[in-house]
Amino acid sequence: MKSIHPLIALALMILLAPSVRGDEASAPFRHFVSFQFKDGTSDEKKEELVKAFLQLKNEIDVVVDLEWGTTDNIEPLNDGFTHSFLVSFKDKVVSFKDKASLATYLPHPAHEAFVAKLKPHLEKVYVFDYTAGK
């Protein structure tokens, strides 16, 4: 039997979880990212990259929350992905809240600088974007 990719399962759990957000206009837009580092990437380099990613919350105003963690799987289903981040957005322009925030975040110079630091150490990346409760 073919199994569901673990990151898809995680994303579905987040997406289908009961919402406590209130009305649709207040629902945050989220950007889930998981990294698989290249073999040989040191723990020190990974720590440096995590700190750089977390700094984006202070540099990009549409980011309202950023949490992260490393795999703590009991089952070996993480497919080599070890570090995951959940970025929550809330734009001040309500009519464009979802895509406008991501459209501000992705080309932002701070995000592009982080991606340039990350790329030489990255084997694979998984991204899943969604509006909470939708």
Residue with more model confidence, 21 or 15:
15
Of the candidates 108, 34, 107, 44, the residue with the CA atom closest to the CA atom of residue 77: 34
pLDDT score of 47 more than 70: yes
Q: How confident is the model over 92-105, as a mean pLDDT? A: 62
Average pLDDT (119-124) is 98
Cβ neighbors of 88 (< 8 A, separation 6 or more) are 28, 29, 30, 31, 63, 64, 65, 66, 132
Domains of the chain, by residue range, sit at: 28-131
Which CATH fold topology does 28-131 show? Answer: Alpha-Beta Plaits (3.30.70)
pTM over 0.75: no
Strands (E), 17-133: 29-37, 63-70, 83-89, 122-131
Mean of per-residue pLDDT scores for the chain: 81
Rounded mean pLDDT, 43-57:
96
Q: What is the pLDDT of residue 24?
A: 54
